[in-house]
Structure formats: structure tokens, C-alpha cells
Amino acid sequence: LIMVVPTPDGEVNDLVLAAAAIVGVDRIFAIGGAQAVAALAYGTESIPQVDKIVGPGNIYVATAKGMVFGTVGIDMIAGPSEILVICDGKTDPEWIAMDLFSQAEHDEDAQAILISQDVDFLKQVKNAIDRLLPTMERESIIRTSLADRAAFIQVKDLDEAVEVSNFIAPEHLELSVEDPEIMSKKIHHAGAIFMGRYTAEAIGDYCAGPNHVLPTSRTARFSSPLGVYDFQKRSSLIQVSEQGSQTLGQIASVLARGEGLTGHARSAEYRLKD
């Protein structure tokens, strides 16, 4: 198990090294970016070639992972961070504003979306954003992200909110509603679902438990979060008895000859008893 981690200005983060030791990382290399992806995919004099590359990164890392796929396996090609909040209008507007900030501060291409049936609540959140934004350390990034990519969507009811969310298939989905368990059963496409008013997305980022490498850019329609299964693979085991080969061999022969693949057919036929 190999980990690559950039070290800006040569500074090593002790917390990262401690986490690597706890989970059993075998080797660590102080590199990052697209060049790290290339080194892992093809190998160098000092960095061994790997079988699979997983983990998030910027657009250069994502592009590099796409380019080396096939030479090595990858988990996914992750795009800019996303958050979608469905709220019934009963959560503190400042909480929701800060939840939107939590993803918008990642970079200017991040996307923050709020859906509610309560137009007055949408206005309250907008006012909270205007009030709180000047207090943020990454104000410039958040402001650009919200201006270019954010959306407030008014729906007729919460059922329509679910429909919109399933179409968007967000990376992070907050269900800030009275009964999130019932609503969650209607959610078909989302990377991670944060259930209830007290479940801030930031908790999932750092300490909730499930892996937080998540599908973005609507890929939650067909892919899942990074997990244990990404570090496993399967092989098919097939064993046919002498008796079974008499039945299955005839079936295989018919199908193979139907495709004009006589080598396949005869391979099965040679095991048939006259």
C-alpha cells in the first residue's frame, strides 16, 4: 500500500503520517499532482508501479487519472466539490449558509445548491450569506463559487425537491428536514447523504466514519463512494463434473456453432461421450 502526499515548501504534516501509520501504509512518497499519478502508473527508478490509484485531487490529477486508466485501475474521476441541501424551512438559516460555504470554500468551481419549498426561507438564507460571507477567511473563493455556480431552487413541495436532487445526483446531499429517514428512501442518486438538521457535511469530511472520496458531476447515478470493495477484486470459479459436461457441453456446442466458432464447439464436444 503506497501513499503519495505533496509537501509544500518541504513541510511534512505529522497528522498525515500518523494516519498512514495507523492504517498500515507500507511506503510514502513526498510527491503530488499529475506527476505523482504518472509515477505510480508507470513506475520510476525510486517509485514502484502500482495496480490501482485511488483518491481525490484537482483537475490536473483527475485528468491524469483518466489518461492512465487501463494501464492501472482507478476509483473514479472526481470533479469539483458539490453540496446540495434540501431544507423544509425549519433549520436555522445561518446553519444552512455555513453548510453551503463549507463546500464553496474548496475552490471557485465548487457548487452549492439549496432546494426548498419555502421562498421566505430561501430569502433568509440569502440574507445570512450576505451577513456571514465577510467573516470567512476564504471569502474571495466562496464569493466567486457562489456567484458562478450556486443555485437556490424553489419547488412546490419536498417530493419535487427529491426529484430535482435525484436528477442532479450530488456528491454531498443534506436532508435538513423533519424526517430524513423517510426522505432518504426516495433518494436514488447521491454520493453521501447527511440526515437531519444536526448532521453537518463537515462531519462527514473528517470524522463520521464512511470514506469521503465521493462521486461528483452526476456520476453518483452509476458509481459509489470509495470503499473497501475498491481494494478487492473477484475471480470466477467454474468446475464442471463429468456428468455435468455432457449437458453443458451440448449447450455450449450449439451456441458456439451458431456463432460460427467451431473451435469453441469442438472443445466442448470432445468431452461428450458417444
Residue 24 has pLDDT above 90, yes or no: yes
In the predicted model, what is the mean pLDDT of residues 210-223?
93
Between CA 79 and CA 215 the distance in angstroms is: 8
Digit-coded pLDDT (tens) for 237-269: 999 999 999 999 999 999 999 999 999 999 999
Between CA 64 and CA 36 the distance in angstroms is: 9
Phi–psi pair at 87, nearest 5 degrees = -130, 140
Q: How many CA atoms lie within 13 A of 254 on its CB side?
A: 5
3-state class (DSSP) for residue 111: strand
Question: Which class is domain 82-229?
Answer: alpha beta
As to burial, measured by CB atoms within 10 angstroms (0-12 exposed, 13-18 middle, 19+ buried), residue 152 is: middle
Digit-coded pLDDT (tens) for 68-120: 999 999 999 988 999 999 999 999 999 999 999 999 999 999 999 999 999 99
In the predicted model, what is the mean pLDDT of residues 14-32?
93
pLDDT of residue 209: 86
Confidence band (pLDDT; 50, 70, 90) for 57?
confident
Confidence band (pLDDT; 50, 70, 90) for 12?
confident
Amino acid letter for position 168: I
Amino acid letter for position 234: R
In percent, the amount of the chain with pLDDT more than 70 equals: 100
The answer to whether residue 189 is catalytic is no
Note whether 2-74 and 82-229 share their fold.
Answer: yes
pLDDT of residue 50: 97
Taking a C-beta distance cutoff of 8 angstroms, is the pair 205, 172 a contact? Answer: no
pLDDT of residue 37: 97
As to burial, measured by CB atoms within 10 angstroms (0-12 exposed, 13-18 middle, 19+ buried), residue 223 is: middle
Digit-coded pLDDT (tens) for 152-194: 999 999 999 999 999 999 999 999 999 999 999 999 999 999 9
Between CA 157 and CA 159 the distance in angstroms is: 5
Dihedral (CA of 57, 94, 113, 201) sign: positive
Catalytic one of 82, 105, 106, 172? 172
Between CA 127 and CA 142 the distance in angstroms is: 15
Between CA 192 and CA 82 the distance in angstroms is: 11
Confidence band (pLDDT; 50, 70, 90) for 274?
confident
Taking a C-beta distance cutoff of 8 angstroms, is the pair 9, 2 a contact? Answer: no
pLDDT of residue 87: 98
pLDDT of residue 9: 82
* pTM given for the model: 0.87
In percent, the amount of the chain with pLDDT more than 90 equals: 89
Residue 56 has pLDDT above 90, yes or no: no
pLDDT of residue 245: 96
| Spatial CA neighbour of 122 closest among 159, 148, 161 | 161
Taking a C-beta distance cutoff of 8 angstroms, is the pair 44, 26 a contact? Answer: no
Question: Which class is domain 2-74?
Answer: alpha beta
| Spatial CA neighbour of 68 closest among 58, 77, 80 | 77
pLDDT of residue 10: 81
Spell out the domain ranges in the chain.
2-74, 82-229, 235-274
Helix (H) or strand (E) holding 52: strand 52-53
Between CA 26 and CA 244 the distance in angstroms is: 46
Mean pLDDT of the chain: 95
pLDDT of residue 155: 98
- What HEC string does 126-147 produce? HHHHHHHHHHCCCHHHHHHHHH
The answer to whether residue 171 is catalytic is yes
Between CA 169 and CA 187 the distance in angstroms is: 9
Catalytic one of 171, 189, 201, 212? 171
